[in-house]
Structures are given as structure tokens and as C-alpha cells.
């Protein structure tokens, strides 16, 4: 899929790989995003997940995207600027 990742808040996300192995397997809805961190609402409460050390599986429109967190290391509006 060549579609750029613009807005991910509200999507379901699972951590599939991380340098911190305790994060692998955490699943939740993305409820907030900063430049370096995703906030997931999980069944155990809100979790702050660093983008740069993780790989994410994100479900969007019934498609599953596997994305390196390093590709998300921007604020959402900065990802839009790249396209214009």
C-alpha cells in the first residue's frame, strides 16, 4: 500500500516488535499522538508507547499495515506538510 500515513488517532494498533520486549503484544486504540509517543487505550488503561523503538501493526479500513515507528517520528501535521 503506497498511501501515506496521515491520521492514526482512533485506529487499532498492536505492537509487534520492540527493543523493550515487555511492550510486544500490547493492543489498543490510539487516543493521542505526539512527535515521539503514541498513547494507547488498552484493556489495562492508557499506555505511553515510544515510536522510535517499536514496530506497529495498525488496522485501517480493514487493511493491516505494519509500520516502523521511525516512519511515524513526526507530529501528524508535519506528515501532511511533506505531501504538499
Domains along the sequence of the chain with CATH: 12-73 (2.30.30.210)
> Which tens digit of pLDDT belongs to each residue from 24-72?
999 999 999 999 999 999 999 999 999 999 999 998 888 898 999 988 8
Whole-prediction pTM: 0.85
Q: CA angle, 65 as apex, 62 and 58 as ends, to 5°?
A: 75
Question: Are the beta carbons of 73 and 52 closer than 8 angstroms?
Answer: yes
Amino acid at each position: 500500500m503506497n498511501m501515506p500515513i496521515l491520521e492514526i488517532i482512533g485506529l487499532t494498533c498492536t505492537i509487534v516488535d520492540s527493543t523493550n520486549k515487555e511492550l510486544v503484544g500490547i493492543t489498543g486504540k490510539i487516543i493521542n499522538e505526539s512527535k515521539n509517543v503514541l498513547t494507547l487505550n488498552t484493556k489495562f488503561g492508557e499506555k505511553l508507547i515510544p515510536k522510535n523503538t517499536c514496530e506497529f501493526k495498525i488496522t485501517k479500513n480493514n487493511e493491516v499495515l505494519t509500520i516502523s515507528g521511525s516512519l511515524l517520528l513526526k507530529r501528524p501535521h508535519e506528515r501532511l506538510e511533506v505531501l504538499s
